Chains A and B, each alone.
Chain A
Amino acid sequence: MLSTVLVIVPLAAIFIYLIFKGASSLNMDFFTKTPAPVGETGGGMANAIVGSITLLGLASLIGVPVGIGGGVFLAEFGRGTKLAYAVRFTADVLNGVPSIVMGLAAYALIVVPQHHFSAFAGGVALGIMMIPTICRTTEEMLLMVPHSVREAALGLGVPNWRSVLSITVKTASPGIITGCMLAFARVAGETAPLIFTALGNDFWSTSLNQPIAALPLQIWIYAQSPYDDWHRLAWAGSLVLIILIVLAVSLVRFVTSRGVLKGAS
């Protein structure tokens, strides 16, 4: 009981405080306009919202398949091999790499050769950050699938690779999806890896080849500005960021829970 309260209180406190501080600045302009020039009031974060969605979409395109693929390899095909040991070790180290370092790596590997900041570089940095979490949760979840279920599939004359993809991964999919959501929610709020990569942008841009705005970046810039108006927008941006994450997680949960039967674990 106490631990339930201890878990809920911080989340509720943050959420209530954000609503208290940010809700009053939420209006149509916030969702439809780009930032106003310094000295003018008004303006919104429409470009940052779209930018965040773009960056997270690109990051998921990279992080989810690579992460799940790695996890499947670790749990099913590479068990006991040196390569699996190396992959697992790398994933664990990657998980511990500070996010600013991840940004620097993407800067050195993508931004410097291309001679410009880009949404692409930001998406790659975030995508790489998603890999270790997804990889390790996928592995753990697959290892939790009972041996008897694998035997049942093999006993039907199903080839091993098919049994892994259609039975084991499917059985573990609720846990794997949770892993993906955790990774997604984590990088959705990341600012540091975007500073040297996506850079931020005060104007509309949806090109992957151009610098792009992102909610966390915009919040970071506004929060350290001297203007009260920008502070209010930063609070509103934080609220929107949290709501977006909750929406995305709920949407995925809803879509993936349809078709999975009641009574199935």
Chain B
Amino acid sequence: MGVGIEVTNLNAWYGANHTLQDINLNIPANHATALIGPSGCGKSTFVRCLNRMHETNPIARVTGSVRMGDLDIYHDASPVEVRRRVGMVFQRPNPFPTMSIYDNVSAGLKLNGYSNRHSLDEVVEKSLKNSALWDEVKDDLKKKSGASLSGGQQQRLCIARALAVDPEVLLMDEPASALDPVSTSKIEDLIFQLKSQYTIVIVTHNMQQAARVAEKTGFFLNGRMVEFDSTHKIFTNPSDKRTEDYITGRFG
């Protein structure tokens, strides 16, 4: 089951560049939350702070607190532990190129020392079914490499790989921006199904996408969070003038 995320006074830097300034928000458990905003507004940095990927860049720095359920991820846990509980799907599909479909999905478990063969089979099947890829690949699990799939299939493979380690939160950084419309709608259907079991945070450039999949939406601008509210409110009656300008296409 998913957990809620409570972000308090989050600040992040790349070198001298203050990319996130005083972010405060509560992301509800078992819902999809969309983050929108123009390029460079800090929304990707923000999700990367939620699984501590931000700090893999040596010049990056972060302050403030992020709580997931009872866990303060910056004080109570190591980055490795945090990332096991928080799955991530990246903008470009990035399956492990030398691995089969099966090995891609089971990679997270195997690399963490989990090797019970029988239950690995089960986890792989369940994860691929959850990511709506099972029917397309079930006959070639060990024969085909992850890299031989189409772009949309690769992205669903990456979702299956993230789900296999049984995370509580799933972060998606523009998961459909490199995909065609058919693959995009498959990913959106998937988000719709998955949000009953996971807390989903999705960064998107596509406002219709945010409106379709998310209950809550946050609008980021220049490293600050301008507005965070129910998706319906953001798109029909935003409180902030800047949000309205962005939604109506006056800039960005």
Task: State the interface size on chain A (CB cutoff 8 A).
Answer: 25
Is B42 an interface position by the 8 A CB rule? no
Whether the Cβ atoms of B98 and A156 lie closer than 8 Å is: no
Is A149 an interface position by the 8 A CB rule? yes
Which residues in chain B, 76-90, are within 8 Å of chain A measured between CB atoms?
A: 80-85, 87-88, 90
Q: Which of B94, B143, B161 contacts A148 (CB 8 A)?
A: B94
Instruction: State A146–B96 Cα separation when bound (angstroms).
Output: 10
Is B162 an interface position by the 8 A CB rule? yes
A81 to chain B, nearest CB (A): 11
Is B204 an interface position by the 8 A CB rule? no
Q: Indicate the member of A156, A166, A171 with the most B CB atoms within 10 Å.
A: A156
**Contact flags B76-118 to A (C-beta < 8 A → 1, else 0):** 0000111111011010101111111000000110011000000
Q: A-B pairs with CB below 8 Å: how many? A: 89
Binding-face segment, A35-43, A185-193, A197-205, A255-263 = A255-263
Q: Which secondary structure characterizes the binding site on chain A?
A: helix
B109 to chain A, nearest CB (A): 9
Is B51 an interface position by the 8 A CB rule? yes
Is B191 an interface position by the 8 A CB rule? no
Closest partner residue, chain B, to A170 (CB atom): B98
Contacts of A7 in B (CB 8 A): none
Q: Which of A151, A162, A171 contacts B90 (CB 8 A)?
A: A151
Contacts of A170 in B (CB 8 A): 98
Contacts of B158 in A (CB 8 A): 152
Q: Which of B56, B94, B162 contacts A149 (CB 8 A)?
A: B94
Which residues in chain A, 244-265, are within 8 Å of chain B measured between CB atoms?
A: 260-265
Instruction: State A80–B122 Cα separation when bound (angstroms).
Output: 43
Whether the Cβ atoms of B145 and A156 lie closer than 8 Å is: no
Q: Which of B84, B100, B161 contacts A261 (CB 8 A)?
A: B100
Whether the Cβ atoms of B148 and A155 lie closer than 8 Å is: no
Whether the Cβ atoms of B96 and A157 lie closer than 8 Å is: no
Q: Which of A156, A159, A262 contacts B162 (CB 8 A)?
A: A156
Instruction: State A173–B100 Cα separation when bound (angstroms).
Output: 16
Instruction: State A156–B167 Cα separation when bound (angstroms).
Output: 9
Q: Indicate the member of B88, B100, B111, B144 with the most A CB atoms within 10 Å.
A: B111
A262 to chain B, nearest CB (A): 7
Q: Which of A156, A162, A163 contacts B165 (CB 8 A)?
A: A156
Is A109 an interface position by the 8 A CB rule? no
Is A94 an interface position by the 8 A CB rule? no
Contacts of B96 in A (CB 8 A): 149, 152-153, 167, 171
Instruction: State A190–B51 Cα separation when bound (angstroms).
Output: 53
Whether the Cβ atoms of A151 and B83 lie closer than 8 Å is: no
Which residues in chain B, 116-170, are within 8 Å of chain A measured between CB atoms?
A: 143-145, 147-148, 158, 161-162, 165
Q: Which of A146, A159, A171, A262 contacts B80 (CB 8 A)?
A: A159
Interchain residue pairs A-B with the least CB separation, the first 5: A157-B84, A263-B148, A156-B108, A157-B83, A148-B94
23 contacts between A and B (CB under 8 A): A146-B94, A152-B95, A154-B53, A154-B83, A155-B83, A155-B162, A156-B87, A156-B107, A156-B162, A157-B80, A157-B81, A158-B80, A163-B111, A167-B96, A167-B107, A167-B111, A171-B97, A171-B98, A261-B98, A261-B143, A263-B148, A264-B147, A265-B98
